[in-house]
Amino acid sequence: MRTILYLIRKEFIQIFRDKFLGRAIFAIPIVQMLILVPAVTFEIKEVNLCVVDKDLSTESRELVSKLVGSTFFKVRHATFSEREANDLLHRNKCDLILQIPAGFGKDIGKGTPTKLMASANAINAMNAQLSWAYLNGVIIDYNMNLLAREIGSRTFTAIPQIEVTNRYWYNEMLNYNFYMQPGILGILVLAIGFILAGLNLVKEKEIGTIEQMNVTPVKKYQFILSKIIPFLIIGLIDLALGIIIGKLVFNVPFVGSMGLLFLCSTVFLIAVLGLALLISTFSGTQQQFMFTGFFFMIIFILMSGIFTPLESMPDWAQKIDLLNPVVYIMRINRMVMLKGSTLYDIRTEFLALVLFAIATTTLAVNRYRKTA
Amino acid sequence: MKRLLVFVKKEFLHIFRDFRTMVILFLIPGALILLFGFVVSTDLKNATVSFLDLSNDEMTQKLSDKICSSGFFKRGENLKSFQDIDPALRGNKIKAVIIFEKDFSAKLISEGKATVNIITDGSEPNMATMATNYISAIVADFNSELAGGGKAAALRVQPEVRMFYNPSLKSQHMFVPGVITLIMILICALMTSITITREKEFGTMEALLVSPLKPIQIILGKIVPYFILSLVDVIIILLLSRYVFDLPVKGSVVLLLAEAMLYILMSLSLGILISTVSKTMQQAIFISLVGMMLPTVLLSGFIYPIENMPKAYDWVSAIMPPRYFIIIIKNVMIKGTGFLYVWKETLILTLFTLGAIGLSMRKFNIRLQ
């Protein structure tokens, strides 16, 4: 036990002797959280609309003014030439073009169906579909008005209607900060622990100081533990800082138990630190570790469900994802912080992390050879 | 010139000697492209929903079947009472609860009105809004079926839409440019940032400094090999997107490659800058991995479009080079526009490159301490 304590002290001295790293370990997560959390929203703020009104009748103007009046559309440009409109779309000056053909008003007057053309920039398919849905909504509304005017109220028989009401639980206002903060916090804690711990061991190998360690009576498990515990402590401090920032700056609610979150994060950190050490036992140089680590990390993160829904992934990928520790901590962070889930609710995730932690640390201890 | 070539050859030997790193360098872009192509997507698919059916009649059966057969939703465990909702959502087993009120069909027939209540898990706002919107749309569809489908024919103004640049609404159009942008800057910065620090840390820098090589030659010699490797990476991604995802380069390939070279050069000089600033490899890796990965993923407009971000982020992302490259690559690759549409972004990238090279030249010490 005393041996481990001495070793841990040595690690801390080494880490904080590097003035830059000592500060960066805490500064980077704080800065990144402050900048990145509010960045993400998925709603479209406004759609820049370009109107090509070739009709210029009362009817077409009525439709355009309806669009101007909606909070969703900004009518940025109005032109008569299709060419110019397409060019605006090309240059990203507008997202959506609405073309009203000549004779639009006349057709409506006569009661013959008439067409409208919309062109959307669909590189971002989701945005395009959404803005098209909104435009369609305005047009349907316009149609209904036409119909109502024509028929008056006389033939209005009651058509059975199912009404939809909805509520968002745990985050009534759909504040995206509440969604991003636990996720980004998880990634930062992961990245810092993973990289620092892995680099640390591999650096000793590369410089050759590991030889000195190997000739001491320090046992394999003691050595690995002394490489895990300092970074575990640093990771937990970062976590605490992150939670404080979340509370103070973004007012992210913390519904669940703080102790439970820290317990889960501890297990998670042990699991990833073990993995980092395992990878570094396979690597000869810091460069090798860096690229292998980068490869694992980016795939873990992108498949973790922090940015995209897990359910949308194909079945085989969801199976592979069972081996991705980041999935579990993302879920746990959000569930405990926002929904107040208890240990019983997250028992599967928690167990998975425990298994992970046991597996990676045992493997790391086993793989570490005292003989060079 | 000959000196430079010899130096470049030495750097190449360094790189090729480390076989595993080489393999990973080529594996990362391929893996990411396939990941985004086949695995990760932002669409709603198979979200589990539970029903709390308080009337359990023919109408609610029909509607719930319609919702579950849409392909967007999967039927989860049926709930019995309001008390079941919270545990179900808290356990993360389901994404939404759909509640049919009591005497649903009776009310629908006698009063002409019945209510469906949707409760979604707001801790995932995106999922929650999508699920709500899709369920509402399905109910609206059901409504018009109830009305006899006569309403659609009565529509006077029929809108038609053309989805420009991406008629089949494929998500590849977003992620292929995104992956190129992300991977290039991270890999390039990572690779070059440690080359100079390694020489410093191992003391071999001294040998380089006493050689007749000028600082600019050392920097160039460090850049050239990685430049070639990165270009191969870009070509791998473009080939994958052409032959696996059927997404060809619409504009000029030459222009695209030229812009990619500029971007690679920019990223490499950024790496050099990082390496001249940091003292140890650990620092360099920490800056380029922990410091750059998350901001690049989030702020380059790759997963989350910049247009949707709060106004202030226009300024924040203005100093992020990936933002400009993503505009260029989308224009040239997907819209098929020419240089005239991207000259501004190209100019900005050039300035970034010159700035990074200039700064690293100034920071590059020819004395050790």
Helix (H, G, I), strand (E, B) or coil at A4: helix
Integer CA distances (angstroms), A372 to A112, A218, A279, A292, in order:
87, 15, 16, 21
Residue B170 to residue B146: CA distance in whole angstroms: 33
Residue A371 has pLDDT above 70, yes or no: no
In chain B, what's the furthest Cα-to-Cα distance?
A: 96
Alpha helices in chain A (DSSP H): 2-17, 19-36, 58-69, 82-90, 104-110, 125-151, 176-207, 210-214, 220-248, 258-282, 286-302, 315-320, 325-334, 347-367
Residue B152: predicted pLDDT? 45
Phi, psi of B161 (to 5 degrees): -125, 145
Enumerate the domain spans of chain B.
2-40+171-363, 47-147
Residue B157 has a pLDDT of 67
Q: Do A199 and B285 touch (CB under 8 A)?
A: yes
Share of chain A above pLDDT 90, in %: 21
* Model ipTM value: 0.82
- Under the banding of pLDDT at 50, 70 and 90, the label for residue A175 is confident
Nearest to A142 among B139, B143, B157 (CB): B157
Residue at A217: amino acid letter = P
How many angstroms separate the CA of residue B333 from the nearest CA in chain A? 11
Q: Given a cut of 60, is residue A155 above it in pLDDT?
A: no
Does position B316 have pLDDT exceeding 60, yes or no?
yes
Q: Which CA distances in Å does B283 have to A20, A23, A24, A187?
A: 8, 11, 9, 19
Task: Search chain A and give the residue with CA nearest B310.
Answer: A39
Mutate to test the interface with B, among A31, A311, A323, A332 (most CBs of B within 10 A): A311
A150 pLDDT tier (thresholds 50, 70, 90): low
pLDDT digits (tens, 9 = 90+) for B209-251: 888 888 788 888 888 888 998 999 899 989 988 888 888 888 8
How far apart CA B302 and CA B178 sit, in angstroms, is: 5
H or E element, residue A46: none
Q: What is the pLDDT of residues B249-272, one digit of tens each?
A: 888 899 999 999 999 999 998 998
- Superfamily name with CATH number, domain A47-144: abc type-2 transporter like domain (3.40.1710.10)
Query: How far is it, in rounded angstroms, from Cα A328 to Cα A305?
Result: 10
Mutate to test the interface with B, among A19, A41, A290 (most CBs of B within 10 A): A290
Strands A96-100 and B113-121: unpaired
Mean pLDDT of A186-208: 89
Q: Which of A119, A309, A335 sits opposite B162 (nearest CB)?
A: A119
Q: CATH 3.40.1710.10 spans which residues of chain A? A: 47-144
Cβ-based contacts of B91 with chain A (< 8 Å): 341, 345
What would the DSSP string read from start to end of A167-200?
Answer: EEES-TT--HHHHHHHHHHHHHHHHHHHHHHHHH
Mean pLDDT, range A6-28, rounded to an integer: 88
Q: Count chain A–chain B contacts defined by CB atoms under 8 A.
A: 359
Beta strands in B233-326 (DSSP E): none
In this prediction, residue B111 carries a pLDDT of 80
pTM: 0.82
- Residue B257, pLDDT score: 93
CA A4 to chain centre: 38
Cα dihedral A314, A326, B181, B236 sign = negative
| Span A295-305, average pLDDT | 87
pLDDT at A295 over 60: yes
Nearest Cα of chain A lies from the Cα of B210 at a distance, in angstroms, of 23
Euclidean distance between CA atoms B87 and A62, whole angstroms = 50
Least confident of A271-275, A302-306, B150-154, B343-347: B150-154
- Residues linked to residue A65 through DSSP beta bridges, in sequence order: none
The larger pLDDT score, comparing residue B128 to residue A271, is at: A271
Q: Do A90 and B39 lie within an 8 Å CB cutoff?
A: no
Q: What integer pLDDT is reported at residue B98 of this predicted model?
A: 92
| Interface probe with B: pick from A37, A40, A202, most Cβ of B within 10 Å | A40
Quick one: pLDDT at residue A259? 93
- What percent of chain A clears pLDDT 70, i.e. is strictly above it? 94
- HSE-CB at B254 with a 13 A cutoff on CA atoms is 2
Which residue, B15, B4, B1, B38, is CA-closest to B194? B15
**pLDDT tens column, B318-362:** 888 888 898 888 888 888 888 888 899 999 999 999 998 888 888
Nearest by CB to residue B147, choosing from A123, A159, A308, is: A159
Summarised one tens digit per residue, pLDDT across range B43-92 is 777 888 999 998 888 888 989 998 998 888 989 889 888 888 888 888 87
**pLDDT tens digits along A19-57:** 888 888 899 889 989 988 888 776 656 788 899 988 888
Most confident segment among A342-346, B40-44, B162-166, B196-200: A342-346
State whether CATH 3.40.1710.10 applies to domain B47-147: yes
Q: Mean pLDDT across chain A, nearest whole number?
A: 85
Strands, E, within B202-353: which ranges? none
pLDDT at position A154: 45
- Give the C-alpha distances (Å, rounded to integers) separating B138 from A161, B116, B185: 13, 12, 43
Strand order through the sheet with A114-121? A73-79, A47-53, A96-100, A114-121, B157-164
Q: Do B91 and A122 touch (CB under 8 A)?
A: no
